Amino acid sequence: MDDEIRALGAFTGRVIEFGVQYGFQMLGALIILALGYFVARRVGALVERLCARREFDVTLTRFFASVARITVLAFVLIAALGKFGITIAPLIAALGAVAFGSSLALAGPLSNYGAGLAIILARPFKVGDTIAVQGAYGVVHDIRLGATSLRTEDGETVIIPNKEIVGQVLVNSYANRVVELRVGIAYGDDPARAVEVITRALATVAEVVQQPPPQVGIGAFADSALTIEIRYWVPTARYFQVRFAANAVVWQALCAAGLRVPGPRQEVTLVDVRASDADV
């Protein structure tokens, strides 16, 4: 029992000694961390306001604000460690060794961050643009260092690792997406009138983009019809809805104008084999 009391007394004495010796340092470190966190948030908000005032892209604004916050927090952490007398140089060397070893093991995931940095700085697209890459298509919803997320018309979120974007063929159609349509008219009908009817019909659809204007013209001379090709832009977020509505309007306009849309036709020649045999 006496041994336990003496051990408890020794432990309590060491705790008191540690508190007296390092208590003020710990309190100072906590105060520095709290103030540093507050200052980092204020600096990040200030950078965001400055970028917004200069009309920077949303992605660049977020990136610069994050860099500013992380930089302030890094200096605050160094100052807090200094309160305990910890030397930073050996710690930085150890972190460098760990980072080098981790980079070999995580070469794939880390390459996403390098590609994300390239996207943020080069800005091949921004939030709100419509892009097509690696078979994926949608409106850019968010750009982060690791991945880029797209939003489809159906409300689905498509997440693409940034390394799958950099170095690939990327199509950026900004806020809209093109619709390409072919319709055939009879050779006896006037193609100029068909082009006029279709152009006027598309102008009645509110969400069909008029700048650039729709393109309508003779696309090909098919076997049984004169092919009229139609190209127009619609908002990506309502691509299929506007496309279906425009197709219905075009069809109704062609029918009302008396323009015929012929179906496929084949000519069949019947040969009287018996008559051929009799001649022989």
203 is a domain residue: yes
119 is a domain residue: no
Return the higher-pLDDT residue of 196 and 101.
Answer: 196
Segment 108-118, tens digit of pLDDT: 667 888 888 88
Amino acid at 163: K
Amino acid at 244: F
146 is a domain residue: yes
How far CA 86 is from CA of 9, 15, 17, 48, 91, in Å, comes to: 30, 21, 19, 34, 9
Q: What is the domain-level CATH number for residue 141?
A: 2.30.30.60
130 is a domain residue: yes
Query: Domain tally for the chain?
Result: 3
Q: Which of 50-64, 74-88, 134-148, 166-180 has the lowest average pLDDT?
A: 74-88
Q: What is the pTM of this model?
A: 0.61
Rg (CA), the chain: 35
How far CA 50 is from CA of 42, 53, 64, in Å, comes to: 12, 5, 10
Shared domain for 30 and 19, answered yes or no, is yes
Return the higher-pLDDT residue of 275 and 66.
Answer: 66
> What is the structure's pLDDT at 53?
80
Band (pLDDT 50/70/90 cuts) for residue 105 is very low
CA separation for the pair 216, 218 (Å, rounded): 7
Angle CA 268–184–232, to nearest 5: 155
pLDDT over threshold 90, residue 38 = no
Return the higher-pLDDT residue of 166 and 267.
Answer: 166
CA separation for the pair 123, 131 (Å, rounded): 13
Band (pLDDT 50/70/90 cuts) for residue 260 is confident
For residue 168, give the nearest of 127, 121, 136 by alpha carbon.
Answer: 136
232 is a domain residue: yes
Shared domain for 162 and 184, answered yes or no, is no
Return the higher-pLDDT residue of 62 and 138.
Answer: 138
201 is a domain residue: yes
- Structural domain that includes position 238: 176-256
Return the higher-pLDDT residue of 94 and 75.
Answer: 75
Q: What is the domain-level CATH number for residue 225?
A: 3.30.70.100
Q: Which of 36-45, 207-216, 238-247 has the lowest average pLDDT?
A: 36-45
CA separation for the pair 173, 236 (Å, rounded): 9
Return the higher-pLDDT residue of 278 and 121.
Answer: 121
Return the higher-pLDDT residue of 161 and 15.
Answer: 161
pLDDT over threshold 90, residue 242 = yes
Shared domain for 181 and 245, answered yes or no, is yes
Segment 76-98, tens digit of pLDDT: 787 777 666 666 666 566 556 55
> What is the structure's pLDDT at 172?
92
> What is the structure's pLDDT at 19?
59
Average pLDDT in the chain: 80
29 is a domain residue: yes
169 is a domain residue: yes
